[in-house]
């Protein structure tokens, strides 16, 4: 090998190392939410139907779990209050009995809701009523897409946690719905791909798996709405998702950036 060839190879190797270093230096630091200090508040809105609203004691369980784990200055927001649960909690939300993803999207309700109560994080469990009332899976996903667009118009840095919805029986609330269990599975199977397609650096979408490990015969009292065991399971899954986007409790107090 000639001297010039050896020098050329050395130069190329050095150039490759330098390029790798520059690429590494340009990588943004992972931080789904801005650093939060102890003096700042993170606003969280639960968006959903009666599973999160009138029977949604998972919000109470979640609120108390967050407090027990040391998360401070969190604010659950929304005009809707309740239900009464075993533990005291911040019971504000935007979760209403009978509401559908498609209906909230078509009526553009989020604009006024988020104007009244701005949010940093959305916890979204919607689709159950859409399925019960005959909406197709494509229509539900289109509804999700519209909701995400409305959220981002109100907050370009919105963090969106969307649930793969809990299962239901073929007779939720003693009403025949033979297609319901299967369509729940179909919707949930498509949510991760939908989320990946709509995820952005500025406004990440996190999928919370509320389906796996949830048994509608055991964890609901009517084939649809959670009992105590179901509320606990939902709260646990929401907590796991929030750990991905909230600064750890010590960082929230000291202002250290999460690693």
Give me the pLDDT at residue 17, please: 41
User: pLDDT tens digits, residue range 177-228?
Assistant: 999 999 999 999 999 999 999 999 999 999 999 999 999 999 999 999 999 9
Give me the pLDDT at residue 94, please: 98
User: Does residue 227 have a cis bond before it (omega within 30 degrees)?
Assistant: no
Nearest to 191 by CA among 140, 155, 152: 140
Q: Which residues have a Cβ under 8 Å from the Cβ of 108 and sit 6 or more positions away?
A: 150
Query: Is the separation of the CB atoms in 93 and 53 below 8 Å?
Result: yes
Give me the pLDDT at residue 140, please: 99
- Distance CA(259)–CA(256), nearest Å, equals 9
User: pLDDT tens digits, residue range 142-161?
Assistant: 999 999 999 999 999 999 99
Which residues is 123 bridged to in the sheet? 46, 161
More confident residue, 257 or 145: 145
User: pLDDT tens digits, residue range 45-86?
Assistant: 999 999 999 898 999 999 999 999 999 899 999 999 999 999
Domain borders along the chain are 42-245
Query: Is the separation of the CB atoms in 244 and 206 below 8 Å?
Result: yes
Nearest to 122 by CA among 208, 184, 232: 208
Q: What is the CATH number of domain 42-245?
A: 3.40.50.1110
User: pLDDT tens digits, residue range 69-128?
Assistant: 999 899 999 999 999 999 999 999 999 999 999 999 999 999 999 999 999 999 999 999
């Amino acid at each position: 090998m000639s001297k010039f060839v050896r020098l050329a190879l050395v130069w190329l190797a050095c150039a490759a190392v330098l390029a790798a270093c520059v690429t590494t230096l340009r990588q943004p630091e992972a931080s789904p939410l801005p650093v939060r200090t102890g003096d700042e508040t993170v606003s969280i809105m639960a968006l959903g139907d009666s599973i999160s609203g009138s029977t949604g004691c998972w919000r109470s369980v979640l609120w108390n779990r967050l407090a027990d784990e040391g998360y401070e200055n969190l604010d659950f927001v929304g005009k809707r209050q309740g239900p009464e649960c075993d533990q005291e909690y911040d019971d504000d939300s935007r979760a209403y009995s009978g509401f559908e993803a498609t209906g909230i999207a078509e009526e553009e309700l989020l604009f006024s809701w988020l104007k009244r109560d701005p949010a940093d994080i959305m916890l979204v469990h919607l689709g159950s009523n859409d399925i019960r009332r005959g909406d197709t899976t494509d229509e539900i996903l289109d509804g999700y897409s519209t909701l995400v667009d409305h959220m981002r118009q109100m907050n370009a840095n919105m963090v969106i946690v969307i649930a793969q919805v809990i299962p239901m029986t073929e007779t939720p609330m003693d009403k025949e719905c033979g297609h319901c269990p299967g369509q729940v599975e179909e919707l949930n199977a498509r949510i991760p791909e939908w989320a990946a397609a709509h995820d952005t650096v500025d406004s990440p979408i996190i999928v919370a798996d509320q389906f796996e490990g949830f048994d509608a015969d055991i964890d609901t009292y009517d084939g649809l709405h959670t009992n105590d065991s179901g509320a606990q399971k939902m709260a646990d899954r929401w907590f796991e998702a929030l750990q991905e986007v909230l600064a750890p409790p010590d960082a929230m107090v000291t202002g250290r950036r999460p690693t």
